[in-house]
């Protein structure tokens, strides 16, 4: 049986889409191929890596990819995790189910290191809930 293919899109593929990729990989438990990309590439944010490591999910090997790299893949799901990516998302001529959920961008938060970490943790918690709901809805029978 072919695995479903999931693409998670964000503006820079540095924080929110990387966090979502980590959670969705965990929650679909090898029942899907999970990709993330941006409409730009900003590199994987060190704070995103660190806050995921806090809960035992290692995204340190993730790379920041441009959505054009995946133009020839037939996705089953395309998830946008920020309004900018949804508005700027290239058209995927496919049967993909498109899902959108805007999450706050923790990379835009300023303040002390602890305030910034807390912003990343808050976004992580929101994405975790969304990712678990997504996996339950679309992969619960696997």
Give the CATH number for residue 19. Answer: 3.40.50.2300
**Alpha carbon distance 45, 2 (integer Å):** 32
User: 81 — alpha (psi -120 to 50), left (phi > 0) or beta?
Assistant: alpha
* Predicted structure pTM score: 0.93
Distance in angstroms (rounded) separating the CA atoms of residues 27 and 34: 11
Active site residues: 10, 82, 89
pLDDT recorded at residue 122: 98
Domain count, the chain: 1
Q: For residue 71, what pLDDT band results from cuts at 50, 70 and 90?
A: confident
Number of CB atoms found within 10 A of residue 37's CB: 24
Host domain of residue 16: 4-139
Q: How far is C-alpha 23 from the chain's CA centre?
A: 8
């Amino acid at each position: 049986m072919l695995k479903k293919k999931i693409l998670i899109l964000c503006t820079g593929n540095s924080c929110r889409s990387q966090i979502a990729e980590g959670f969705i990989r965990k929650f679909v438990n090898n029942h899907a191929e999970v990709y993330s990309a941006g409409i730009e590439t900003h590199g994987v944010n060190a704070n995103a890596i660190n806050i995921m490591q806090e809960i035992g999910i290692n995204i340190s090997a993730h790379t920041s990819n441009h959505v054009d790299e995946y133009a020839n893949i037939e996705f089953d799901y395309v998830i946008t995790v920020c309004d900018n990516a949804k508005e700027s998302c290239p058209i995927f001529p496919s049967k993909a189910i498109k899902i959108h959920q805007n999450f706050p961008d923790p990379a835009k938060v300023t303040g002390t290191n602890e305030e910034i970490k807390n912003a990343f943790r808050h976004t992580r918690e929101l994405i975790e809930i969304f990712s678990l709901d997504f996996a339950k809805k679309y992969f619960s029978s696997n």
